[in-house]
Amino acid sequence: MELPENIHRKESADKLLIQTPGHGSYLAYIRAIVGDLARKVGFDEGEVAKIEMAVDEACSNVVRHAYSPDKEWCWQQRDPEIRLDIRIEGSRLIIEINDHGQRFDFANYRPARMEDHLREMKPGGYGIPIMRNFMDEVQYSSNDQTGNTLRMVKYLKKP
């Protein structure tokens, strides 16, 4: 797959670094790169689809919320960027998604249960429940130096 010039990709045996502009038009490339890697390390097609979706939800949230034009990142005079740091450690695929946009109070965010949302046919609020459903670990951290990082882990084989 040919990547646009402003997607930077650095790969070694067990590590992949991707940097893209923080814009929705790059999401399809991110999904494709992450899906290829997950396939390569041995996840079956069903698990690959889940990993792609979890990463897409995380990056969509960065574009939509962290880099929302009405948030304070605009004042920092920096172009919005998404950085994905993906590595294999033993039987774990670790995906860290970093941005320098508006932080999010992930720990105190209590999304409604998916079943309730679906029963009421709500049009939104599915992203974080999907990440939590499809990945084995999901953690969010934020600090002024390194920005916001969402860390997701998927086990190739359950420990």
**What does the binding site for another protein look like in residue numbers (CB under 8 A)?**
1, 24-25, 27-29, 31-32, 45-46, 49-50, 52-53, 56-57, 60, 63-64, 114-115, 118-119, 121-127, 130, 133
Q: Which is nearer to another protein, 24 or 42 (CB)?
A: 24
Q: Which is nearer to another protein, 126 or 155 (CB)?
A: 126
Q: Which is nearer to another protein, 47 or 85 (CB)?
A: 47
Tokens at residue 155, please?
């086990």
Minimal distance in Å, beta carbon 9 to another protein?
15
User: 95 with 55: CB under 8 angstroms?
Assistant: yes
Residue 18: how many other CB atoms lie within 10 Å: 22
Q: Which is nearer to another protein, 76 or 133 (CB)?
A: 133
* Rounded Cα–Cα distance for residues 139 and 35 (Å): 21
* Rounded Cα–Cα distance for residues 38 and 51 (Å): 8
CA distances from 84 to 13, 33, 81, 159 (A): 16, 11, 10, 25
Minimal distance in Å, beta carbon 52 to another protein?
7
Minimal distance in Å, beta carbon 45 to another protein?
7
DSSP annotation of 76 reads: G
